[in-house]
Chains A and B, each alone.
Chain A
Amino acid sequence: MSDVMLKVEDLNASYGAVSVLRGVSLQVPTGQVGVVLGANGAGKTTTLRAICNMCNTSGTVELDGEDILKTATAEIVRKGVGHVPQGRGTFPELSVMDNLLVGAYTRKDNEIRDDIGRWFEIFPRLEERRTQLAGSLSGGEQQMLAVARALMCRPKLLLLDEPSLGLAPLIIEDLFERFAALNKETGLTMLVVEQNANLALEMADYGYVIESGEITLEGPAEQLKNDPAVQEAYLGA
């Protein structure tokens, strides 16, 4: 594995004629957690979508040293990117179990059931509800399911799109503790985009601030936490 799991350079992204990202550059070293902070409409979601080639892009996107800018989304997933989209992105009409099975759609090995058991240990609520339809779960449970589903493809890189959105503070805290544990125990590389800067910076190694489609500030998480501009804009200080 290369030292840098994700390398994005001078990335531009647009939907039709609307340009959303302009020259975004960021990296996530293997085994680390990167965070992109930004307000609504700054381009956080588009950054993740552009990495997975879900909009028109130009520039450089490299996964583990391999150029994936023009690779089809489904193929990028095969290459090891787990993407938890904004608003959970579960399959509401499928059972919890089927959600996890379809998460392993790209795999052909026989350890799929073992993996499901493993994520059930980490998210016991999902095991209790495994025959229930995903649409009937609470917001927090759906977010856990969305993450577990993304992990089922055994990603090298996990992209999390505002996992805290619409969840109660206690649930958010619990969720971020699990993400941090996941990163520590398995060495899984993550890129999180968030508005909730506090918890995200707590977990992250390195952070970026995005405004109007451009990276305006970057630095180690510790440093960003103490940056007056970040404090004012995202930490409510």
Chain B
Amino acid sequence: MELLAAGSKWSSLPDFIFNGLSLGAIYAVVAVALVVIFKATTLINFAQGELAMLGAFFVYVLNIEQGLWLWLSIVLAMAITAGLGALVERTLTRPFDPADHLPVVLITLGLFLIINAVAGDIWNYQVRRVNDPFGKFPGWVPFWGGDRFIEVFDSRLRYQTIGIWITVIGMLVGLSMLLNKTRAGLAFRAVSSNTESARLVGVNTGRTLGFGWALASAMGTLGAALVAPTLGGVNPNMMATILIYGLAGAALGGLDSIGGAVLGGVLVGIIQSVVVSWLGVVVLEQHYMSILQLAAAFLVILIVLMFRPSGLFGTRKIERV
């Protein structure tokens, strides 16, 4: 009854749902990028977020410093980080035995630190403002042209949230077409399913893994470019916590399922915003909860892995003897 009495608390719920959806879309992108590499190599690439951060800085340089059109800057930055991702795969991971995970995971962790330090050295750690691709509805949109948000239940559904979702859905459709309708995608799925047999049908497995890294890096950059305006701009630490939330989303979805990663990422966003921020802080007034958001993400990983080690949609490994 106490909850119902606090009407203003209820009226703020849609705001938190929209915020959770917006965060969740970004986590979904990061989770999908992690899953793409995991499917092919059964490795978690801890440098994924930092490559994406670097991509967001490329967007900053191209768009703000060089004055290129924002979307062109994003596409160029995606292409550059795709090349970097493939380069990392070729030079830092391929020389190692793929069956021995520890060295490669340590390399990606090291890369995390190196990229972060290099970016900090070049651009320092201050937040640099960026342009928002989804600041105001474009003029041709009926009713809301020029507005920043739509009012729903007295809450603000921002153009930013809608735009991020449209972009993410577009990216997922593109990814699905690439994986299911092209020769390179078929090769990638084959390598993910059975690397040795892929070699036995003539697939160049090294090049295919490079393709996977390039794909994941480009997607990460898109995610970072979308999230940067919501953080007030770019800075070298922008992706560190987002990577953790993305990882939680990927674990929740099952690490080897792209659809699961999308749903897992969105769920983590909703949990963070609705369960922790709205229920915990606003409704129950447990203000310390706001600093425990990251802990909540870990809690999600922990609970999922305890009860369903293969996640919500992951394949359970069955060995036939």
Contacts of A90 in B (CB 8 A): 194, 197
Distance in Å from the Cβ of A103 to the closest Cβ of chain B?
Answer: 5
B202 touching A89, Cβ below 8 Å: no
* Range, interface on chain B: 20 to 34
User: Counting CB contacts under 8 A, is A63 at the interface?
Assistant: no
Within 8 A of A (CB), among B148-206: 183, 186-187, 189-190, 192-194, 196-205
The reply to whether B189 and A85 form a contact with Cβ atoms under 8 Å apart is no
Q: Could you tell me the distance between the alpha carbons of A166 and B183 in the complex, rounded to whole angstroms?
A: 33
Give chain A interface residues in 66-87, CB to chain B under 8 Å.
Answer: 73-75, 77-78, 83, 85
- Residue B315 CB within 8 A of the other chain: yes
Taking the nearest CB of chain A, how far is it from the CB of B105, in angstroms? 23
Asked if B186 contacts A105 (CB within 8 A), the reply is: yes
Interface stretch of the complex, out of A32-40, A91-99, A179-187, A207-215: A91-99
Which residues on the B side are within 8 Å of A153 (C-beta)? 201-202
Task: Determine if B200 and A89 form an interchain contact, defined as CB atoms under 8 angstroms apart.
Answer: yes
- Say whether A102 contacts B198, CB under 8 Å: yes
Docked-complex contact B201 and A102, CB < 8 angstroms: yes
Inter-chain CA distance A74–B202, complex, in Å, is 4
Contact of B193 among A91, A103, A139 (CB under 8 A): A91
Q: Are B202 and A77 in contact (CB under 8 A)?
A: yes
Q: Is the beta-carbon distance between A85 and B201 smaller than 8 angstroms?
A: no
Shortest distance between the CB of A159 and any CB in chain B (Å): 9
Let me know if A93 and B200 touch, CB within 8 A. no
Contact A93 B197 (CB under 8 A): no
Residues of A within 8 A of B190 (CB): 91, 94, 102, 105
6 contacts between A and B (CB under 8 A): A73-B200, A74-B205, A75-B202, A90-B194, A105-B190, A149-B201
A interface with B by C-beta (< 8 Å): 52, 54, 73-75, 77-78, 83, 85, 89-94, 98, 101-103, 105-106, 139, 149-150, 152-153, 166
Q: Which are the 7 A-B pairs with shortest beta-carbon distances?
A: A77-B202, A106-B202, A91-B193, A89-B197, A93-B193, A102-B190, A83-B200
B residues within 8 Å of A by Cβ? 183, 186-187, 189-190, 192-194, 196-205, 315, 320
